[in-house]
């Protein structure tokens, strides 16, 4: 299949582009390199340094005869979205809307969208949250992701665009960008290597559901199948506090960095974990890498000085 991976020069998208090439798909990467890097784009993928909003995107879809779009390009900083909601909406809503319009204009058959199970539900009534949990997003970043989910339903109803929404929990792993939702793992790894203290905002009791990028990639390969339609959580169902995460990383790294506490961020969600039962029942997906295995791999990646 001819697949466009947007954001394929970034953390998750570059892992997906590589896996798609390994699965013998023809891969085109589109990325404006605002956060990603050219080196992360795997060999064998065609590359276009282009913004989602560039009118030329339509010609790329036509030229590369794109059949499926795996959409990962986004401004990913929750903090930035709170500071500048218009900037966030321009990239994450308007950019995606233009891509969707181009997709239907070119007869694209499948659209996979990276949404956020870590943020669309907001403060949860139950743990882990299923896909039918009420959505009460707390930040512009999460509001924009949910807004795109509604646009997808519109394009499905009116233009027969098939889609799968993957609501990730907090994704971590080699190549991770420190600004994203699970950026805390990358930041802690970098600080451990530099011999600096790990700084936690708040009391460290806030919890997250950390999922490895390898498991997320497997979910994306399933999502490309024509029969995979609808909205699916991609997480582990387990809560880990940020304090426990910091302690695990200190232990696994063998370093003796201190853990320090700073003022909490007012918009930060307190607890999060999401139920992956639907994707498991439908397609047999389940997380395979334990948190400890994943963190060790990530520490190894960040301890390599060339990154």
Ligand X SMILES: NC(=O)c1ccc[n+]([C@@H]2O[C@H](COP(=O)([O-])OP(=O)(O)OC[C@H]3O[C@@H](n4cnc5c(N)ncnc54)[C@H](O)[C@@H]3O)[C@@H](O)[C@H]2O)c1
Return the residue of 48, 121, 155, 168 that touches ligand X, per CB under 6 A: 168
Scanning 7-15, 61-69, 121-129, 196-204 for contacts with ligand X by CB under 6 A, the matching segment is 7-15
CB nearer to ligand X: pick between 48 and 155:
48
Distance between CA atoms of residues 133 and 52, nearest Å: 31
Question: What does the per-residue mask of binding to ligand X show for 248-287, with x meaning CB under 6 A?
Answer: ----------------------------------------
The owner of tokens 């997003």 is 137
Please say which residue, 99 or 246, places its beta carbon nearer to ligand X: 99
Handedness of CA 64, 148, 95, 187 (dihedral sign): negative
Q: Which residues in 15-34 contact ligand X (CB under 6 A)?
A: 31-34
Task: Closer to ligand X by CB, 144 or 198: give it.
Answer: 144
Minimum CB–partner distance for residue 23 and ligand X (Å): 19
The two three-digit tokens of residue 71, written as one number = 């959409």
Return the number of the residue (31 or 64) whose C-beta is nearest ligand X: 31
Kindly provide the b/e burial profile for residues 5-29, where b requires at least 16 CB atoms within 10 angstroms of the residue's own CB.
bbbbbbbbbbbbbbbbbeeebbbbb
**Residue where the block lists tokens 């909490």:** 264
Catalytic residues: 141
> Could you tell me the smallest distance in angstroms from the CB atom of residue 69 to ligand X?
13
Nearer CB in complex with ligand X: 27/73: 73
CB of 195 to ligand X, least distance (A): 26
CB of 306 to ligand X, least distance (A): 18
- Select the residue interacting with ligand X from 28, 70, 75, 269 (CB under 6 A): 75
From 102-110, 180-188, 238-246, 258-266, span contacting ligand X (CB under 6 A): 180-188
Looking at the chain, list the stretches that DSSP marks H as alpha helix, in order from N- to C-terminal side: 11-22, 57-63, 78-83, 85-89, 95-105, 140-159, 183-193, 213-223, 242-253, 277-283, 291-303
> Minimum distance between the CB of residue 119 and ligand X, rounded to whole angstroms?
7
Please list every residue from 101 through 160 that binds ligand X, using CB under 6 A. Answer: 114, 116, 118
Residues 182-221 within binding reach of ligand X (CB under 6 A): 182
Kindly indicate which of the ranges 18-26, 68-76, 147-155, 263-271 contains the residues binding ligand X, using the contact rule CB under 6 A: 68-76
Q: Smallest distance, Å, CB 178 to ligand X?
A: 9
Long-range contacts of 154-157 (CB under 8 A, 24+ apart): 155/100, 155/103, 155/104, 155/111
Q: In this structure, is the dihedral angle defined by the CA atoms of residues 295, 296, 299 and 304, taken in order, positive or negative? A: negative
Span near ligand X by CB under 6 A; candidates 19-27, 61-69, 126-134, 173-181: 173-181
Using alpha carbons only, give the angle 295, 298, 300 rounded to the nearest 5 degrees.
110
How far CA 227 is from CA of 1, 155, 222, in Å, comes to 15, 17, 9
- Pick from 164, 169, 156: nearest CA to 283: 164
- For the chain, how far is it from start to end, CA to CA, in angstroms? 32
**Of residues 122, 128, 180, 235, which one binds ligand X by CB under 6 A?**
180
94 and 147 in contact (C-beta within 8 Å)? no
Residues that bind ligand X (CB under 6 A): 7, 9-13, 31-36, 51-52, 72-76, 91, 95, 114, 116, 118, 168, 170-171, 177, 180-182
């Amino acid at each position: 299949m001819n697949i466009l991976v947007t954001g394929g020069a970034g953390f998750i998208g570059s892992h997906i582009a590589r896996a798609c090439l390994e699965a013998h798909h023809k891969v085109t990467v589109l990325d404006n390199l605002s956060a990603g890097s050219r080196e992360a784009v795997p060999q064998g993928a065609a590359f276009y340094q282009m913004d989602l909003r560039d009118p030329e995107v339509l010609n790329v879809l036509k030229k590369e005869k794109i059949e499926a779009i795996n959409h990962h390009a986004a401004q990913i900083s929750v903090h930035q979205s709170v500071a500048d909601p218009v900037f966030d909406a321009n990239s994450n809503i308007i950019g995606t809307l233009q891509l969707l319009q181009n997709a239907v204009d070119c007869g694209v058959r499948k659209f996979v969208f990276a949404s956020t199970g870590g943020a669309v539900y907001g403060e949860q009534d139950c743990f882990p949250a299923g896909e039918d949990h009420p959505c009460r997003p707390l930040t512009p970043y999460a509001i924009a992701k949910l807004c795109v989910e509604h646009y997808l339903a519109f394009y499905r109803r009116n233009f027969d665009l098939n889609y799968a929404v993957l609501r990730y929990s907090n994704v971590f792993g080699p190549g991770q960008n420190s600004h994203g939702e699970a950026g805390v793992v990358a930041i802690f790894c970098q600080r451990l290597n530099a011999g600096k203290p790990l700084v936690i905002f708040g009391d460290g009791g806030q919890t997250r559901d950390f999922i490895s990028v390898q498991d997320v990639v497997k979910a994306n390969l399933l999502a490309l199948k024509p029969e995979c339609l609808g909205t699916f959580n991609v997480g582990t169902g387990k809560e880990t506090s940020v304090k426990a995460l910091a302690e695990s990383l200190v232990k696994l790294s063998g370093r003796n960095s201190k853990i320090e506490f700073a003022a909490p961020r007012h918009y930060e969600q307190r607890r999060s974990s999401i139920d992956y039962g639907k994707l498991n029942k439908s397609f047999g997906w389940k997380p395979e890498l334990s948190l400890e295995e994943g963190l060790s791999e990530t520490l190894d990646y960040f301890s390599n000085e060339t990154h």
